Chain A
Amino acid sequence: MNSLNFHTIPWSARIGMVMIVIMVFLGIAGPWIAPYTNAELVGDVWEPMFGNFLLGTDNLGRDMLSRLLYGARITLFIAFVATLISFTMGAVLGFFAAVQKGWLDQVLSRGNDTLMALPTLIFALVVLSVLPANLFTLIMVMAVLDSTRVYRIGRAIAVDIEALDFIEMARLRGEKKSWIILHEILPNALTPLIAEFGLRFSFAILFLSSLSFLGLGVQPPAADWGALVKENKDGIAFGISASLVPATAIAILTISVNLVADWLLSKTSDLKGGEG
């Protein structure tokens, strides 16, 4: 497992990587390569693709390609940061609870259950309509809500691993809990966690679009890809393809992320097989 083995990477993961690199590049360079700004009206409403504009125009007559390029940055940024925060919080607390056991595990788990028992979307709706509407609030709300799910899965995995013999051996050796988490649990829990990261990242994008659907999310005229789908949804019943463009972009991104995650998954489980 080193850089020389590029040829052993399956084609699916290679495609995924290439697509992610392209998306990230578009996210960074989008505003410079976009033919128009994301707010100016350039044509009629819902002009078809491949006409005056490569990807057509949106519900106000703005250039869809430009909106998509501007949207790439905000979509990737929000989804990635929110997922990263939720994983850091959720997994660390989950492992900690599993190893520590006792009252701390109880407090964390009951607190987590309490938070999880609230309906997510409605909770987000209430919190986002109460707190000031900015990017930070949005990301934190998404991250906190998501981290409860990660905590639960992280803890379940860690409890399973914790019950295995080699953890007991480590304990008998007198290793510290932080050492056990880092050296024994983390490597063994990576397999399902990485699979989860890919899905959670996709869910973050979709959750963002659900928020947009309910009138929350990022501030106009900026729009994440989910919001672009929502803005153009009224055309779907009439066969207008405008909402198909951002929907396809979301699909390509999430599938690419999961292709890479799948490959990492198979790679790490090989590793684990060697150890176990």
Chain B
Amino acid sequence: MTNFDSELLRKISMDPKVNRREFLRTTIAAGLTMSAATSLWSGSVAASTPQRGGTLVQAMEGSSATSSLDPITYTNTYDANMGYQYAQRLLGNDPATGDYTFELATAIDSTDGGTTWVLKLREGVTFHNGKTMTSADVVYSLNRHRGEDSKSGAAGSLTAITEIKASGKYEITIVLDSVNADLPFIITDYHLLIQPEGSTDDGMGTGGYVMKEYRPGEVTLFERNPNYWGDGCYFEAVENLAINDATARTTSLMTGKSHLITRVDPKTAGLMKKNPKIEVENTSGRAHYVFLMQTQMAPFDNYDLRMAMKLAIDREEIVKTVLRGYGSVGNDIPINAAYPYFDSGIEQRKYDPEEAAFHYKKSGHSGNVEFHVSNAAFSGAEDAAVLYQQQAARAGITIDVKREPADGYWDNVWMKKPFCASYWSGRPTQDQMYSVAYKGDAAWNDTQFQNDKFDSLLLSARGELDGAKRKAIYSEMGMILRDQGGLICPMFNDFIDARASNLAGYIRDPLGAVSNGFAPMRCWFEA
């Protein structure tokens, strides 16, 4: 697929009115054959026919000796990838359209316009221990992530759910406290894996691979599940290596010790491309890097100072230098064209040292502005901070870059210091992204953004079923956040993976790195 094709595909598929049928009609009208359009839709490049066999070795970042197998504790790419191999969700995500797909559920419908949802479950699916999956397992698995006592990373997004109950052996009903048209996307969260009733950290599920051994911070070993109900899963075995050093991941791939690696440094991606045995796969998606000003904390409770800081950053230069072009400029909202209902008409904020100096003077702030960073926030954060320091200096603003230790960064710096760097991997919908971090009472409101208008617009969008009106509401919210908020979003970063050339079937999935964790299911070795 050429870049143009994928660009076209993305533009079309991002149109909220386009569903699969319309997509096919549009592309066929554009001159593509039916089969070509279908393969575009599925995103797969039919270069070779899938072949069984071999052991896939993936080297990923994120796992540590403290990691656990319990889905409640998952926080990173390694965990999510591991989870998808041994277990499955009710609904998945389509890499090309961003729409939801069916995994362990076969149908989802709302009986009353978005408050009560009924899901039909797939029948005849067995867990690795031989037990047949029923609604009791599903209710148990979902409820583990809910409620006051939950330690789950998914708990925040499930607060609107008032009840999950079995309404048949292969049917469950989910009741919300108010209308939310996005519920299907909420249950695509990677924590919400279906396990047999009573399971916590035993690695039991219905997935295409059976877990053989789990050594936290080292390796996870899988073998193919002979009783798997679905398609794909071509490897006999899979090994997930936990490698947190970027150079070690690179050397493991280059010497053939691994076949697929995550988080390739943008600087070395270009060098890697020169190696004929290696392909670099960069996927633009929803992940973004952020500089966070706490709007309720001095000195950033001052509108003009926030505006000055937003105008004093040269986003283009940072994307060019830190991301080496593997990404796109941000616009101080956490939303980009990868989201449904995105308004491309919102004006791009540009680097303007004079305007920044004007606002800075007006703010009355004096002295240095302390900016806390660590490469734990995102790889290249310290470099970005140093660039920002230089750029702001041209507007007469002195930034004092404080490098914080990676150890304890999320504990001691994030949401504690008035100005720090962080990242977001994005959410399937605008509603989820705004609900999780920008709504006034959101648990992760890391800019302490308080705006009543913004919050009420967010609630009204949930019940708005007219696409055009919904888009207008999100556009207005974007404008409010962009101008009033404490968020500086310099860039949306690509996921950069690299794979061995003989690893076929890799799909660029905008929802996450290593094909959103589905490489073991989607890929195979070419002869």
Binding site for B on A (CB under 8 A): 39-41, 45-46, 59-61, 125-126, 128-129, 133, 214-216, 219-221, 233-238, 240
Contacting residues, chain B, for A240 (C-beta < 8 A): 271
Bound-state CA distance A129–B402 (Å) is 12
Is B387 in contact with A129, judged by CB distance below 8 angstroms?
A: no
Bound-state CA distance A216–B406 (Å) is 8
Across the interface, name the chain B residue whose C-beta is closest to A134: B402
Q: Is B38 an interface residue (CB 8 A)?
A: no
Bound-state CA distance A39–B386 (Å) is 7
Across the interface, name the chain A residue whose C-beta is closest to B264: A234
Bound-state CA distance A216–B402 (Å) is 11
Is A59 in contact with B402, judged by CB distance below 8 angstroms?
A: no
Contacting residues, chain B, for A45 (C-beta < 8 A): 267, 321, 324
Contacting residues, chain B, for A237 (C-beta < 8 A): 247, 250-251, 254, 268
Bound-state CA distance A221–B402 (Å) is 10
Is A128 in contact with B401, judged by CB distance below 8 angstroms?
A: no
Q: Enumerate B47-74 residues with CB–CB distance to A below 8 Å.
A: none
A79 to nearest B CB, angstroms?
20
Bound-state CA distance A219–B254 (Å) is 33
| Known A41-B387, A236-B247, A237-B254: A133·B267 in contact at CB below 8 Å | no
Q: Is B375 an interface residue (CB 8 A)?
A: yes
Q: Which of A46, A61, A215 contacts B376 (CB 8 A)?
A: A215
Is B246 in contact with A234, judged by CB distance below 8 angstroms?
A: yes
Q: Which of A60, A215, A234 contacts B321 (CB 8 A)?
A: A60
Given contacts A220-B403, A235-B271, 14 further A-B contacts (CB under 8 A): A40-B390, A41-B317, A45-B321, A45-B324, A125-B407, A133-B403, A215-B374, A215-B403, A215-B406, A220-B385, A234-B247, A234-B268, A236-B247, A238-B271
B388 to nearest A CB, angstroms?
11
Q: Enumerate B329-384 residues with CB–CB distance to A below 8 Å.
A: 374-376, 382-383
Q: Is B265 an interface residue (CB 8 A)?
A: yes
Bound-state CA distance A233–B267 (Å) is 11
Is B375 in contact with A60, judged by CB distance below 8 angstroms?
A: no
B250 to nearest A CB, angstroms?
5
Is B267 in contact with A234, judged by CB distance below 8 angstroms?
A: yes
Total A-B Cβ pairs within 8 A: 70
Contacting residues, chain A, for B389 (C-beta < 8 A): 39, 221
Q: Which of B246, B247, B401 contacts A220 (CB 8 A)?
A: B401
Across the interface, name the chain B residue whose C-beta is closest to A219: B403
25 A-B pairs with CB atoms under 8 Å apart are A41-B321, A41-B390, A61-B321, A125-B407, A126-B407, A129-B405, A133-B403, A215-B406, A215-B407, A216-B405, A219-B401, A219-B402, A220-B385, A221-B386, A221-B389, A233-B247, A235-B267, A235-B268, A235-B271, A237-B247, A237-B254, A238-B268, A238-B271, A238-B272, A240-B271
Is A129 in contact with B408, judged by CB distance below 8 angstroms?
A: yes
Q: Which DSSP category, helix, strand, loop or mixed, fits chain A's interface?
A: loop
Across the interface, name the chain B residue whose C-beta is closest to A129: B405
Binding site for A on B (CB under 8 A): 246-247, 250-251, 254, 265, 267-268, 271-272, 317, 321, 324, 374-376, 382-383, 385-387, 389-390, 401-408
Contacting residues, chain A, for B268 (C-beta < 8 A): 234-235, 237-238
Is B251 in contact with A59, judged by CB distance below 8 angstroms?
A: no
| Known A220-B385, A237-B254: A129·B267 in contact at CB below 8 Å | no
Bound-state CA distance A240–B321 (Å) is 18
Is A234 in contact with B402, judged by CB distance below 8 angstroms?
A: no
Across the interface, name the chain A residue whose C-beta is closest to B274: A238
Contacting residues, chain A, for B387 (C-beta < 8 A): 41, 60
Is A215 in contact with B405, judged by CB distance below 8 angstroms?
A: yes
Is B403 in contact with A39, judged by CB distance below 8 angstroms?
A: no
Bound-state CA distance A45–B323 (Å) is 12
Bound-state CA distance A41–B386 (Å) is 10
B413 to nearest A CB, angstroms?
11
Across the interface, name the chain A residue whose C-beta is closest to B385: A220
A244 to nearest B CB, angstroms?
15
Q: Which of A125, A126, A214, A221 contacts B401 (CB 8 A)?
A: A221
A138 to nearest B CB, angstroms?
12
B488 to nearest A CB, angstroms?
19
Bound-state CA distance A39–B385 (Å) is 11
Is B247 in contact with A60, judged by CB distance below 8 angstroms?
A: no
Bound-state CA distance A93–B442 (Å) is 56
| Known A60-B387, A237-B247, A237-B254: A46·B267 in contact at CB below 8 Å | yes
Bound-state CA distance A41–B403 (Å) is 20
Bound-state CA distance A234–B379 (Å) is 12
Across the interface, name the chain A residue whose C-beta is closest to B393: A39
Contacting residues, chain B, for A236 (C-beta < 8 A): 247
| Known A59-B267, A125-B405, A220-B401: A234·B250 in contact at CB below 8 Å | yes
Contacting residues, chain B, for A133 (C-beta < 8 A): 402-405
Across the interface, name the chain B residue whose C-beta is closest to A236: B247
Contacting residues, chain B, for A221 (C-beta < 8 A): 386, 389, 401
10 smallest CB-CB distances across A and B, nearest first, come from: A129-B405, A238-B271, A221-B386, A215-B406, A129-B407, A234-B265, A220-B382, A237-B251, A237-B250, A234-B268
A143 to nearest B CB, angstroms?
20
Bound-state CA distance A45–B324 (Å) is 9
A58 to nearest B CB, angstroms?
10
Contacting residues, chain B, for A125 (C-beta < 8 A): 405, 407
Across the interface, name the chain A residue whose C-beta is closest to B271: A238
Bound-state CA distance A133–B403 (Å) is 8
Is A60 in contact with B386, judged by CB distance below 8 angstroms?
A: yes
Across the interface, name the chain A residue whose C-beta is closest to B321: A60
Bound-state CA distance A214–B254 (Å) is 24
Bound-state CA distance A5–B406 (Å) is 53
Bound-state CA distance A80–B223 (Å) is 56
